[in-house]
Chains A and B, each alone.
Chain A
Amino acid sequence: MATYSTNEFRGGLKLLLDGDPYVIIENEFVKPGKGQAFNRVKLRNLKTGRVLEKTFKSGESVEAADVMDRDLQYLYNDGEYWYFMDNDSYEQYQVDANAMGDAAKWIKDQDQCNVTLWNDQPILVEAPNFVVLEITDTDPGLKGDTSGGGGKPATLETGAVVRVPLFVQIGEKIKVDTRKGEYISRAKD
Protein backbone atom coordinates (compact mmCIF):
# COMPACT_ATOMS: atom_id res chain seq x y z
CA MET A 1 0.00 0.00 0.00
CA ALA A 2 1.60 3.23 -1.14
CA THR A 3 1.27 6.20 1.19
CA TYR A 4 2.19 9.87 1.13
CA SER A 5 3.43 11.82 4.12
CA THR A 6 2.08 15.33 4.61
CA ASN A 7 5.48 16.60 3.47
CA GLU A 8 4.70 15.26 0.02
CA PHE A 9 1.32 17.01 -0.20
CA ARG A 10 0.93 19.33 -3.18
CA GLY A 11 -1.73 20.24 -5.70
CA GLY A 12 -2.61 17.30 -7.96
CA LEU A 13 -1.65 14.52 -5.53
CA LYS A 14 -4.25 11.71 -5.38
CA LEU A 15 -5.28 10.33 -1.98
CA LEU A 16 -7.65 7.65 -0.77
CA LEU A 17 -9.97 8.88 2.01
CA ASP A 18 -12.87 6.90 3.43
CA GLY A 19 -12.68 4.61 0.42
CA ASP A 20 -12.95 7.36 -2.20
CA PRO A 21 -10.25 8.83 -4.45
CA TYR A 22 -9.49 12.53 -3.95
CA VAL A 23 -7.16 15.01 -5.58
CA ILE A 24 -5.48 17.79 -3.60
CA ILE A 25 -6.47 21.25 -4.81
CA GLU A 26 -4.71 23.30 -2.14
CA ASN A 27 -2.39 22.46 0.72
CA GLU A 28 -1.54 24.89 3.49
CA PHE A 29 1.06 24.33 6.19
CA VAL A 30 -0.09 25.81 9.50
CA LYS A 31 1.97 25.81 12.66
CA PRO A 32 2.05 27.76 15.89
CA GLY A 33 5.59 28.84 16.76
CA LYS A 34 5.66 26.47 19.70
CA GLY A 35 3.16 23.77 18.89
CA GLN A 36 1.75 21.10 16.67
CA ALA A 37 1.97 21.60 12.90
CA PHE A 38 -1.02 20.84 10.67
CA ASN A 39 -1.74 20.59 6.97
CA ARG A 40 -5.02 22.20 5.98
CA VAL A 41 -5.96 20.59 2.71
CA LYS A 42 -8.67 21.28 0.15
CA LEU A 43 -9.57 18.15 -1.80
CA ARG A 44 -11.91 17.21 -4.63
CA ASN A 45 -13.66 13.86 -4.64
CA LEU A 46 -12.85 12.43 -8.05
CA LYS A 47 -16.08 10.45 -8.21
CA THR A 48 -18.55 13.10 -7.12
CA GLY A 49 -16.63 16.30 -7.83
CA ARG A 50 -17.46 17.53 -4.34
CA VAL A 51 -14.85 19.67 -2.62
CA LEU A 52 -14.05 19.28 1.05
CA GLU A 53 -11.50 20.61 3.51
CA LYS A 54 -9.60 18.29 5.77
CA THR A 55 -6.91 18.81 8.36
CA PHE A 56 -4.01 16.45 8.99
CA LYS A 57 -1.41 16.43 11.71
CA SER A 58 1.86 17.16 9.93
CA GLY A 59 3.99 14.06 9.69
CA GLU A 60 1.03 11.68 9.31
CA SER A 61 0.77 9.45 6.25
CA VAL A 62 -2.23 8.98 4.02
CA GLU A 63 -2.94 6.14 1.61
CA ALA A 64 -2.33 6.97 -2.04
CA ALA A 65 -5.13 6.47 -4.56
CA ASP A 66 -4.11 4.54 -7.66
CA VAL A 67 -5.45 7.16 -10.00
CA MET A 68 -4.17 7.95 -13.48
CA ASP A 69 -5.21 10.35 -16.18
CA ARG A 70 -5.27 8.94 -19.72
CA ASP A 71 -5.93 10.54 -23.05
CA LEU A 72 -8.47 8.18 -24.65
CA GLN A 73 -10.42 8.25 -27.89
CA TYR A 74 -14.20 8.07 -27.75
CA LEU A 75 -15.48 5.25 -29.98
CA TYR A 76 -19.25 4.83 -29.59
CA ASN A 77 -22.19 4.58 -27.25
CA ASP A 78 -24.32 1.41 -27.12
CA GLY A 79 -27.25 2.99 -25.33
CA GLU A 80 -26.01 2.03 -21.90
CA TYR A 81 -22.24 2.49 -21.91
CA TRP A 82 -19.72 4.72 -23.65
CA TYR A 83 -16.62 3.05 -25.08
CA PHE A 84 -13.14 4.58 -25.21
CA MET A 85 -9.81 3.32 -26.54
CA ASP A 86 -6.19 3.93 -25.69
CA ASN A 87 -4.60 4.63 -29.08
CA ASP A 88 -1.23 3.27 -27.99
CA SER A 89 -2.27 -0.01 -26.38
CA TYR A 90 -5.65 -0.40 -28.19
CA GLU A 91 -7.07 -1.25 -24.79
CA GLN A 92 -10.78 -0.43 -24.56
CA TYR A 93 -12.66 1.00 -21.61
CA GLN A 94 -16.37 0.86 -20.86
CA VAL A 95 -17.68 3.97 -19.08
CA ASP A 96 -21.02 4.29 -17.30
CA ALA A 97 -23.27 7.34 -17.29
CA ASN A 98 -22.15 8.32 -13.81
CA ALA A 99 -18.51 8.65 -14.84
CA MET A 100 -19.48 10.32 -18.11
CA GLY A 101 -21.35 13.09 -16.31
CA ASP A 102 -21.66 16.23 -18.45
CA ALA A 103 -19.06 15.03 -20.93
CA ALA A 104 -21.75 12.84 -22.57
CA LYS A 105 -23.48 15.84 -24.03
CA TRP A 106 -20.41 17.35 -25.70
CA ILE A 107 -18.46 14.55 -27.34
CA LYS A 108 -18.65 12.90 -30.77
CA ASP A 109 -16.98 9.78 -32.13
CA GLN A 110 -13.22 10.18 -32.49
CA ASP A 111 -12.92 12.93 -29.85
CA GLN A 112 -9.94 12.64 -27.53
CA CYS A 113 -10.89 12.92 -23.86
CA ASN A 114 -9.04 12.97 -20.60
CA VAL A 115 -10.29 9.94 -18.67
CA THR A 116 -9.46 9.42 -15.00
CA LEU A 117 -8.88 5.77 -14.10
CA TRP A 118 -9.03 4.55 -10.51
CA ASN A 119 -7.73 1.02 -10.03
CA ASP A 120 -7.88 0.91 -13.83
CA GLN A 121 -11.63 1.70 -13.87
CA PRO A 122 -12.85 4.92 -15.51
CA ILE A 123 -14.40 7.22 -12.91
CA LEU A 124 -14.39 10.58 -14.65
CA VAL A 125 -14.43 11.75 -18.26
CA GLU A 126 -13.61 15.30 -19.24
CA ALA A 127 -14.75 16.54 -22.61
CA PRO A 128 -12.18 18.59 -24.56
CA ASN A 129 -12.34 22.23 -23.38
CA PHE A 130 -13.54 23.30 -26.82
CA VAL A 131 -15.64 21.30 -29.27
CA VAL A 132 -17.05 22.11 -32.70
CA LEU A 133 -20.62 20.90 -33.17
CA GLU A 134 -23.35 21.32 -35.77
CA ILE A 135 -26.63 23.00 -34.96
CA THR A 136 -29.52 20.61 -35.65
CA ASP A 137 -32.33 22.81 -34.45
CA THR A 138 -32.90 26.46 -33.62
CA ASP A 139 -35.52 29.13 -34.17
CA PRO A 140 -34.85 30.70 -37.60
CA GLY A 141 -34.99 34.06 -35.86
CA LEU A 142 -35.77 37.48 -37.16
CA LYS A 143 -34.36 38.39 -40.53
CA GLY A 144 -31.97 41.28 -40.48
CA ASP A 145 -31.30 41.15 -36.76
CA THR A 146 -27.53 41.12 -36.53
CA SER A 147 -27.22 42.79 -33.18
CA GLY A 148 -26.50 39.47 -31.49
CA GLY A 149 -28.23 40.72 -28.37
CA GLY A 150 -30.38 38.34 -26.40
CA GLY A 151 -29.69 35.17 -28.27
CA LYS A 152 -31.75 32.01 -28.59
CA PRO A 153 -31.45 28.35 -27.67
CA ALA A 154 -29.92 25.97 -30.22
CA THR A 155 -29.83 22.18 -30.12
CA LEU A 156 -26.53 20.62 -31.21
CA GLU A 157 -25.90 17.30 -32.94
CA THR A 158 -25.03 15.68 -29.61
CA GLY A 159 -28.31 16.81 -28.06
CA ALA A 160 -26.78 19.56 -25.95
CA VAL A 161 -28.56 22.92 -25.89
CA VAL A 162 -26.62 26.20 -25.79
CA ARG A 163 -27.57 29.84 -26.22
CA VAL A 164 -26.40 31.26 -29.54
CA PRO A 165 -26.67 34.71 -31.16
CA LEU A 166 -29.77 35.28 -33.29
CA PHE A 167 -27.86 35.23 -36.60
CA VAL A 168 -26.63 31.63 -36.18
CA GLN A 169 -28.68 29.12 -38.19
CA ILE A 170 -29.45 25.39 -38.49
CA GLY A 171 -26.69 23.46 -40.25
CA GLU A 172 -23.93 25.82 -39.11
CA LYS A 173 -21.05 24.58 -36.97
CA ILE A 174 -20.18 26.43 -33.80
CA LYS A 175 -17.36 26.35 -31.28
CA VAL A 176 -18.44 25.74 -27.67
CA ASP A 177 -16.58 26.04 -24.34
CA THR A 178 -17.62 22.80 -22.62
CA ARG A 179 -16.57 23.98 -19.15
CA LYS A 180 -19.14 26.76 -19.17
CA GLY A 181 -21.48 25.34 -21.80
CA GLU A 182 -21.14 28.58 -23.74
CA TYR A 183 -21.10 29.51 -27.41
CA ILE A 184 -17.75 30.98 -28.46
CA SER A 185 -18.02 31.62 -32.21
CA ARG A 186 -19.08 30.21 -35.52
CA ALA A 187 -16.57 27.59 -36.66
CA LYS A 188 -14.52 28.48 -39.75
CA ASP A 189 -15.43 25.43 -41.81
Chain B
Amino acid sequence: MCDRLRARADLLRRVRSFFDARGVMEVCTPVLSRAAGTDPAIEPLRTRYTGPEHPRGLDLYLQTSPEFPMKRLLAAGSGPIYQIAQVFRDGEYGTRHNPEFSLLEWYRPGFDHHVLMDEVAALANACLQSSLPIEKIAYVDLFREHMGWHPLEADLSILEASAREQGLMVEGMASRDQWLDLFMSLVIEPRLGKQSLTFIYDYPASQASLARISLHDPALASRFELYHRGVELANGFHELADPVEQRQRFEQENLQRQERGQRQLPIDENFLAALETGLPDCAGVALGLDRLLMLKLNASCLDDVLSFSLKNA
Protein backbone atom coordinates (compact mmCIF):
# COMPACT_ATOMS: atom_id res chain seq x y z
CA MET B 1 0.00 0.00 0.00
CA CYS B 2 2.73 2.50 0.96
CA ASP B 3 4.60 1.72 -2.27
CA ARG B 4 1.63 2.63 -4.41
CA LEU B 5 1.06 5.83 -2.44
CA ARG B 6 4.69 6.87 -2.92
CA ALA B 7 4.54 5.95 -6.62
CA ARG B 8 1.46 8.13 -7.09
CA ALA B 9 3.00 11.04 -5.21
CA ASP B 10 6.08 10.70 -7.41
CA LEU B 11 3.93 10.65 -10.56
CA LEU B 12 2.04 13.78 -9.50
CA ARG B 13 5.36 15.54 -8.81
CA ARG B 14 6.61 14.66 -12.29
CA VAL B 15 3.42 15.94 -13.89
CA ARG B 16 3.59 19.25 -12.01
CA SER B 17 7.26 19.85 -12.74
CA PHE B 18 6.66 18.99 -16.43
CA PHE B 19 4.01 21.69 -16.76
CA ASP B 20 5.86 24.17 -14.53
CA ALA B 21 8.82 23.98 -16.86
CA ARG B 22 6.55 24.66 -19.85
CA GLY B 23 4.66 27.56 -18.33
CA VAL B 24 1.31 25.77 -18.14
CA MET B 25 -0.76 26.89 -15.16
CA GLU B 26 -2.47 24.45 -12.79
CA VAL B 27 -6.16 25.22 -12.23
CA CYS B 28 -9.04 23.91 -10.16
CA THR B 29 -12.64 23.86 -11.37
CA PRO B 30 -15.78 22.57 -9.62
CA VAL B 31 -16.47 18.85 -9.51
CA LEU B 32 -20.22 19.56 -9.33
CA SER B 33 -22.13 21.17 -12.16
CA ARG B 34 -25.77 21.77 -12.99
CA ALA B 35 -25.02 20.60 -16.54
CA ALA B 36 -23.37 17.49 -17.92
CA GLY B 37 -21.73 16.12 -21.03
CA THR B 38 -24.34 14.54 -23.28
CA ASP B 39 -22.21 11.76 -24.83
CA PRO B 40 -24.50 8.69 -24.74
CA ALA B 41 -21.48 6.47 -24.01
CA ILE B 42 -20.63 8.37 -20.80
CA GLU B 43 -23.14 8.35 -17.98
CA PRO B 44 -22.70 10.94 -15.23
CA LEU B 45 -23.55 10.41 -11.56
CA ARG B 46 -26.17 12.77 -10.19
CA THR B 47 -26.51 14.22 -6.74
CA ARG B 48 -28.62 16.95 -5.15
CA TYR B 49 -27.87 20.13 -3.21
CA THR B 50 -30.44 21.61 -0.82
CA GLY B 51 -29.79 24.77 1.22
CA PRO B 52 -29.20 28.50 0.86
CA GLU B 53 -29.80 29.62 -2.75
CA HIS B 54 -31.71 26.40 -3.45
CA PRO B 55 -34.11 25.70 -0.59
CA ARG B 56 -36.10 23.26 -2.72
CA GLY B 57 -33.03 21.51 -4.04
CA LEU B 58 -30.88 21.58 -7.15
CA ASP B 59 -29.78 18.58 -9.19
CA LEU B 60 -26.03 18.57 -9.72
CA TYR B 61 -23.85 16.26 -11.78
CA LEU B 62 -20.40 15.02 -10.82
CA GLN B 63 -18.04 15.87 -13.63
CA THR B 64 -17.14 13.14 -16.11
CA SER B 65 -14.24 15.38 -17.17
CA PRO B 66 -13.30 19.00 -16.36
CA GLU B 67 -13.56 19.93 -20.04
CA PHE B 68 -16.36 22.52 -20.02
CA PRO B 69 -15.20 24.65 -17.08
CA MET B 70 -11.60 24.55 -18.35
CA LYS B 71 -12.73 25.79 -21.74
CA ARG B 72 -14.59 28.58 -19.98
CA LEU B 73 -11.28 29.57 -18.37
CA LEU B 74 -9.58 29.47 -21.77
CA ALA B 75 -12.28 31.71 -23.25
CA ALA B 76 -11.74 34.08 -20.34
CA GLY B 77 -8.08 34.36 -21.30
CA SER B 78 -6.35 31.95 -18.93
CA GLY B 79 -3.69 30.88 -21.43
CA PRO B 80 -2.35 27.29 -21.28
CA ILE B 81 -3.79 25.38 -18.31
CA TYR B 82 -3.79 21.91 -16.79
CA GLN B 83 -5.76 20.19 -14.09
CA ILE B 84 -5.48 16.96 -12.12
CA ALA B 85 -9.12 16.13 -11.52
CA GLN B 86 -11.14 13.39 -9.88
CA VAL B 87 -13.86 12.47 -12.37
CA PHE B 88 -16.86 10.18 -12.09
CA ARG B 89 -18.64 7.87 -14.51
CA ASP B 90 -21.59 5.65 -13.79
CA GLY B 91 -21.62 2.03 -14.92
CA GLU B 92 -17.86 1.62 -15.34
CA TYR B 93 -15.97 -0.90 -13.28
CA GLY B 94 -13.46 -3.51 -14.41
CA THR B 95 -9.75 -4.21 -14.60
CA ARG B 96 -9.22 -0.82 -16.26
CA HIS B 97 -12.22 1.08 -14.93
CA ASN B 98 -13.35 2.54 -11.66
CA PRO B 99 -16.37 4.84 -11.32
CA GLU B 100 -14.05 7.49 -9.84
CA PHE B 101 -10.62 8.10 -11.34
CA SER B 102 -7.89 10.71 -11.83
CA LEU B 103 -7.80 12.54 -15.10
CA LEU B 104 -4.96 14.82 -16.16
CA GLU B 105 -6.43 17.30 -18.59
CA TRP B 106 -4.64 20.14 -20.34
CA TYR B 107 -5.19 22.73 -23.04
CA ARG B 108 -2.74 24.43 -25.35
CA PRO B 109 -3.81 27.58 -27.20
CA GLY B 110 -2.11 27.72 -30.60
CA PHE B 111 -1.53 23.93 -30.79
CA ASP B 112 -3.26 21.60 -33.21
CA HIS B 113 -3.73 17.93 -32.36
CA HIS B 114 -0.45 16.90 -33.98
CA VAL B 115 1.65 19.34 -31.95
CA LEU B 116 -0.20 18.27 -28.83
CA MET B 117 0.48 14.58 -29.54
CA ASP B 118 4.20 15.34 -29.33
CA GLU B 119 3.72 17.01 -25.97
CA VAL B 120 1.60 14.10 -24.69
CA ALA B 121 4.45 11.76 -25.65
CA ALA B 122 6.96 13.96 -23.82
CA LEU B 123 4.78 13.93 -20.71
CA ALA B 124 4.29 10.14 -20.86
CA ASN B 125 8.03 9.59 -21.21
CA ALA B 126 8.72 11.98 -18.32
CA CYS B 127 6.23 10.14 -16.12
CA LEU B 128 7.31 6.64 -17.10
CA GLN B 129 11.00 7.66 -16.96
CA SER B 130 11.35 6.17 -20.42
CA SER B 131 12.37 7.29 -23.88
CA LEU B 132 9.78 5.38 -25.87
CA PRO B 133 9.55 6.21 -29.58
CA ILE B 134 6.40 7.83 -30.98
CA GLU B 135 4.27 6.03 -33.55
CA LYS B 136 1.39 7.79 -35.33
CA ILE B 137 -1.24 5.95 -37.36
CA ALA B 138 -4.38 7.40 -38.93
CA TYR B 139 -7.58 5.63 -37.83
CA VAL B 140 -8.43 4.55 -41.38
CA ASP B 141 -4.95 3.11 -41.96
CA LEU B 142 -5.08 1.32 -38.61
CA PHE B 143 -8.21 -0.60 -39.61
CA ARG B 144 -6.85 -1.34 -43.07
CA GLU B 145 -3.69 -2.75 -41.54
CA HIS B 146 -5.24 -4.78 -38.72
CA MET B 147 -8.65 -5.71 -40.14
CA GLY B 148 -8.07 -5.52 -43.87
CA TRP B 149 -10.99 -3.21 -44.61
CA HIS B 150 -11.82 0.51 -44.67
CA PRO B 151 -13.63 1.50 -41.47
CA LEU B 152 -15.84 4.09 -43.16
CA GLU B 153 -16.41 2.51 -46.55
CA ALA B 154 -16.52 -1.27 -46.02
CA ASP B 155 -20.01 -2.73 -46.16
CA LEU B 156 -21.46 -3.65 -42.75
CA SER B 157 -21.69 -7.27 -43.95
CA ILE B 158 -17.88 -7.28 -44.19
CA LEU B 159 -17.63 -6.07 -40.60
CA GLU B 160 -20.04 -8.79 -39.49
CA ALA B 161 -18.11 -11.46 -41.38
CA SER B 162 -14.94 -10.20 -39.71
CA ALA B 163 -16.61 -10.49 -36.30
CA ARG B 164 -17.74 -14.05 -37.02
CA GLU B 165 -14.22 -14.96 -38.08
CA GLN B 166 -12.78 -13.61 -34.83
CA GLY B 167 -15.44 -15.26 -32.66
CA LEU B 168 -16.87 -11.86 -31.83
CA MET B 169 -20.47 -12.08 -32.95
CA VAL B 170 -22.41 -9.70 -30.77
CA GLU B 171 -26.16 -9.35 -30.80
CA GLY B 172 -27.99 -6.05 -30.94
CA MET B 173 -25.31 -4.01 -32.68
CA ALA B 174 -27.07 -0.92 -33.92
CA SER B 175 -24.45 1.09 -35.78
CA ARG B 176 -21.15 1.06 -37.63
CA ASP B 177 -19.54 2.90 -34.71
CA GLN B 178 -20.51 0.12 -32.29
CA TRP B 179 -18.84 -2.43 -34.57
CA LEU B 180 -15.76 -0.21 -34.86
CA ASP B 181 -15.64 0.14 -31.06
CA LEU B 182 -15.83 -3.65 -30.79
CA PHE B 183 -12.88 -4.27 -33.11
CA MET B 184 -10.92 -1.40 -31.64
CA SER B 185 -11.37 -2.62 -28.06
CA LEU B 186 -11.05 -6.36 -28.50
CA VAL B 187 -8.85 -6.90 -31.55
CA ILE B 188 -6.70 -3.86 -32.25
CA GLU B 189 -6.12 -2.15 -28.90
CA PRO B 190 -4.39 -5.14 -27.24
CA ARG B 191 -1.78 -5.07 -30.04
CA LEU B 192 -1.01 -1.35 -29.86
CA GLY B 193 2.05 0.34 -28.42
CA LYS B 194 3.99 -2.75 -27.39
CA GLN B 195 7.24 -0.77 -27.36
CA SER B 196 6.09 2.66 -28.35
CA LEU B 197 3.70 5.47 -27.57
CA THR B 198 1.17 4.87 -30.30
CA PHE B 199 -1.16 7.65 -31.37
CA ILE B 200 -4.25 6.95 -33.46
CA TYR B 201 -5.52 10.12 -35.11
CA ASP B 202 -8.22 11.44 -37.44
CA TYR B 203 -11.19 9.51 -36.09
CA PRO B 204 -14.43 9.11 -38.05
CA ALA B 205 -16.52 12.29 -37.92
CA SER B 206 -19.29 10.20 -36.30
CA GLN B 207 -16.90 9.80 -33.32
CA ALA B 208 -15.82 13.44 -33.27
CA SER B 209 -16.98 13.99 -29.69
CA LEU B 210 -15.72 17.54 -29.03
CA ALA B 211 -13.15 17.66 -31.83
CA ARG B 212 -13.45 19.88 -34.87
CA ILE B 213 -14.13 18.28 -38.23
CA SER B 214 -10.98 17.96 -40.30
CA LEU B 215 -10.32 20.77 -42.77
CA HIS B 216 -8.98 18.25 -45.29
CA ASP B 217 -11.74 15.65 -45.09
CA PRO B 218 -15.26 16.19 -43.73
CA ALA B 219 -15.53 12.46 -42.98
CA LEU B 220 -12.84 12.80 -40.32
CA ALA B 221 -12.47 14.59 -37.00
CA SER B 222 -9.28 16.06 -35.54
CA ARG B 223 -9.26 13.67 -32.61
CA PHE B 224 -6.51 11.37 -31.33
CA GLU B 225 -5.93 8.71 -28.73
CA LEU B 226 -2.77 7.39 -27.12
CA TYR B 227 -2.15 3.68 -26.54
CA HIS B 228 0.73 2.05 -24.73
CA ARG B 229 1.13 -1.68 -24.05
CA GLY B 230 -2.44 -2.30 -25.14
CA VAL B 231 -3.93 0.29 -22.80
CA GLU B 232 -5.92 3.34 -23.89
CA LEU B 233 -4.26 6.21 -22.04
CA ALA B 234 -5.40 9.52 -23.47
CA ASN B 235 -7.92 11.17 -25.74
CA GLY B 236 -7.39 14.57 -27.32
CA PHE B 237 -8.91 17.02 -29.76
CA HIS B 238 -8.17 19.98 -31.88
CA GLU B 239 -11.04 21.61 -30.08
CA LEU B 240 -14.34 22.49 -31.66
CA ALA B 241 -14.81 26.25 -31.07
CA ASP B 242 -18.02 26.86 -33.03
CA PRO B 243 -20.91 27.44 -30.58
CA VAL B 244 -23.61 26.63 -33.15
CA GLU B 245 -22.11 23.29 -34.10
CA GLN B 246 -21.43 22.52 -30.45
CA ARG B 247 -25.08 23.11 -29.54
CA GLN B 248 -26.18 20.89 -32.45
CA ARG B 249 -23.95 18.09 -31.20
CA PHE B 250 -25.36 18.37 -27.68
CA GLU B 251 -28.90 18.28 -29.01
CA GLN B 252 -28.20 15.39 -31.30
CA GLU B 253 -26.59 13.41 -28.48
CA ASN B 254 -29.58 14.07 -26.26
CA LEU B 255 -31.79 12.71 -29.05
CA GLN B 256 -29.64 9.58 -29.21
CA ARG B 257 -30.02 9.29 -25.45
CA GLN B 258 -33.77 9.46 -25.83
CA GLU B 259 -33.75 6.76 -28.52
CA ARG B 260 -31.69 4.48 -26.31
CA GLY B 261 -33.88 5.05 -23.29
CA GLN B 262 -31.20 7.00 -21.42
CA ARG B 263 -31.81 10.09 -19.33
CA GLN B 264 -31.53 13.37 -21.27
CA LEU B 265 -29.05 15.75 -19.70
CA PRO B 266 -29.04 19.52 -19.17
CA ILE B 267 -26.84 21.26 -21.73
CA ASP B 268 -24.08 23.47 -20.33
CA GLU B 269 -25.29 26.95 -21.30
CA ASN B 270 -22.38 28.62 -19.50
CA PHE B 271 -19.96 26.66 -21.65
CA LEU B 272 -21.85 27.55 -24.84
CA ALA B 273 -21.85 31.21 -23.78
CA ALA B 274 -18.07 31.00 -23.38
CA LEU B 275 -17.78 29.63 -26.92
CA GLU B 276 -19.88 32.59 -28.08
CA THR B 277 -17.35 34.99 -26.59
CA GLY B 278 -14.59 33.04 -28.31
CA LEU B 279 -12.53 30.00 -27.45
CA PRO B 280 -8.94 30.52 -28.58
CA ASP B 281 -7.81 28.09 -31.25
CA CYS B 282 -6.44 25.26 -29.11
CA ALA B 283 -5.90 21.56 -28.64
CA GLY B 284 -6.67 19.70 -25.44
CA VAL B 285 -6.22 16.22 -24.05
CA ALA B 286 -7.30 14.08 -21.10
CA LEU B 287 -5.00 11.35 -19.83
CA GLY B 288 -5.91 8.65 -17.32
CA LEU B 289 -3.36 9.00 -14.52
CA ASP B 290 -4.37 5.79 -12.74
CA ARG B 291 -3.80 3.81 -15.93
CA LEU B 292 -0.44 5.49 -16.45
CA LEU B 293 0.51 4.52 -12.90
CA MET B 294 -0.73 0.99 -13.56
CA LEU B 295 1.65 0.71 -16.51
CA LYS B 296 4.50 2.27 -14.60
CA LEU B 297 4.13 -0.25 -11.78
CA ASN B 298 3.35 -3.19 -14.11
CA ALA B 299 0.11 -3.69 -12.21
CA SER B 300 -2.52 -5.89 -13.79
CA CYS B 301 -5.56 -3.89 -12.76
CA LEU B 302 -6.58 -0.41 -11.70
CA ASP B 303 -7.56 -1.60 -8.21
CA ASP B 304 -3.88 -2.31 -7.57
CA VAL B 305 -2.88 1.34 -7.94
CA LEU B 306 -5.83 3.04 -6.23
CA SER B 307 -5.73 3.70 -2.50
CA PHE B 308 -9.29 2.35 -2.36
CA SER B 309 -11.41 1.24 -5.31
CA LEU B 310 -15.17 0.74 -5.74
CA LYS B 311 -14.76 -2.50 -3.79
CA ASN B 312 -13.72 -0.81 -0.56
CA ALA B 313 -14.19 2.94 -0.99
Contacts and interface: CB of A to CB of B under 8 A. Distances in A.
Interface in B140-173: 167-173
A58 interface: yes
Interface residues of A, number: 20
Interface residues of B, number: 30
Contacts of B181: 32, 35-36, 38
Nearest to A57: B172
A31 B97 contact: yes
Interface string A51-68: 011011110100000000
A28 B92 CA distance: 11
A40 interface: yes
Nearest to A58: B91
Given A34-B207, A35-B41, A57-B172, A28 B94 contact: yes
A30 interface: yes
Contact of A7 (B91, B171, B177): B91
Interface in B169-223: 169-173, 177-178, 181-182, 184-186, 189, 207, 209
A37 interface: yes
B41 A30 contact: no
B274 to A, nearest CB: 22
Complex A-B, nearest 9 residue pairs according to Cβ-Cβ distance, in ascending order: A29-B94, A35-B181, A36-B181, A36-B178, A55-B170, A30-B185, A33-B235, A34-B209, A35-B41
Interface of B: 39, 41-42, 91-95, 97, 167-173, 177-178, 181-182, 184-186, 189, 207, 209, 225, 232, 235, 288
21 contacts: A28-B94, A29-B92, A29-B94, A29-B95, A29-B97, A32-B41, A32-B181, A33-B235, A33-B288, A34-B42, A34-B209, A34-B235, A35-B41, A36-B177, A37-B91, A37-B92, A38-B181, A52-B167, A56-B171, A58-B91, A60-B172
